[in-house]
Amino acid sequence: MRVSPISAAKSGMKPKQRGFGLILTLFAMAVTVMTLGTAIDLSHIYLVKHELQTIADEIALSAARELDGSWEGLERAKRAVGGESAEKRQEWLSFSTDEVAELRMRFRSQPDAEWDEFPLTGAGQRFVEVTLASEARMFFLPMAPGMPGAQRVVARSVAGQALLAKSEIPALEFSAEATSPAAPEYGFEPGRSYALHTRSITGCADALASIGQRDTDRSTDEWSSYVVTGNGQRVLFAAVTDGAGSRQPLGVAAFLIRASQTGGGPCAVAFVGASPVLNARRNGAGPQGAYEVRLIQ
């Protein structure tokens, strides 16, 4: 029986075509798997980085709000890091099975000063740097020769008490007259009571009573105790005026509403400090002036 040349040629090419096609298919599958795997691993790194940055920002802002120039304030800022256990650190990364492997916090007094991880005093320390690091595990890239099984991911955040220009200070409901406009802290003495003025039509006493009743501590008048037990509702910021009739604003000061004021009474508050932080409940760590906690980097 004769076989045509064409039939013979076709039957001879089929095994080669199938083998070549199989190789191409396997190669395409491998490239697809590696491409998808690389995309998954890179997405995982991005997710861990995003979560770390969010956590670092929150810690830095919380720590900066605690700085009041005292050693206790410095210790409170350090405790803002929290989560020392591995279990707690893992909870921070809610979309990942990785954990925060490294925590570091440093402080400085000026934007261009050197960072200090262990300052000897809290005086003037109003900037904080938080660094978090995690070893993000890779799932597909380690399949390739020489590729590591984890990628180190680092997030850094800097927050601080930024000095506000007078034009940035919001209009305040209350004001107090400086006893000595040119003196440090406008002549006010910490803990001493001073009268306030208000623009409220209900009167100063009623306004203070309304504010004070929302506090978790309505009985303590000592500032050192109140910062532990109070929630900040009895701390108010008042414009400081020159008391010369023109009532020109000189700056801003922080005052503590007296416990007796939560139920009405004389319109008086205790002086806390002349470096108030507008979005915090403490006096700041910087020199005389109004401050606001902000993310710097």
Whether residues 89 and 138 fall in one domain: yes
Nearest alpha-carbon partner for 207 in 199, 218, 215, 219? 199
Report the domain count for the chain.
Answer: 2
pLDDT band at 88 (very low <50, low <70, confident <90, very high): very low
pLDDT band at 47 (very low <50, low <70, confident <90, very high): confident
The whole-number average pLDDT for the span 8-20 is 58
243-285 pLDDT, tens digit each: 765 566 788 899 988 887 766 556 778 899 999 888 777 788 9
The whole-number average pLDDT for the span 5-32 is 60
Tell me which H or E stretch contains 13: helix 5-66
In order of 83, 185, 263, 268, 283, the CA distances from 180 in angstroms are 46, 9, 31, 18, 20
Which pLDDT score is estimated for 218? Answer: 85
Whether residues 123 and 35 fall in one domain: yes
Least confident of 1-5, 54-58, 169-173: 1-5
Helix, strand, coil percentages for the chain (3-state, nearest 5): 35, 25, 40
Question: Above 80 in pLDDT, residue 100?
Answer: no
Question: Above 50 in pLDDT, residue 38?
Answer: yes
Whether residues 205 and 93 fall in one domain: no
The whole-number average pLDDT for the span 3-8 is 51
Q: Which residues contact 122 (CB under 8 A, 6 or more apart)?
A: 67, 68, 69, 70, 71, 72, 73, 74, 285
Q: Tell me the C-alpha distance between 108 and 277, whole Å.
A: 17
pLDDT band at 222 (very low <50, low <70, confident <90, very high): confident
Which pLDDT score is estimated for 27? Answer: 59
pTM of this prediction? 0.74
Which pLDDT score is estimated for 123? Answer: 92
Which pLDDT score is estimated for 29? Answer: 65
Query: How do beta strands 197-198 and 174-177 pair?
Result: antiparallel
> Does the CA dihedral 24-25-30-34 come out positive or negative?
positive
The CB-based long-range contact list for 77-84 (8 Å cut-off, 24+ gap) reads 77/105, 77/107, 77/128, 78/105, 81/105, 81/130
Residue 213 within a domain: yes
Question: Above 90 in pLDDT, residue 114?
Answer: yes
Domain of residue 199: give its range: 171-277
End-of-domain residue from the set 162, 192, 219: 162
Whether residues 42 and 134 fall in one domain: yes
**Cα Rg of the chain (Å, integer):** 32
Residue 51 within a domain: yes
Would you state the structure tokens that stand for residue 191, as one six-digit string?
Answer: 């803990």
Residue 131 within a domain: yes
Residue 297 within a domain: no
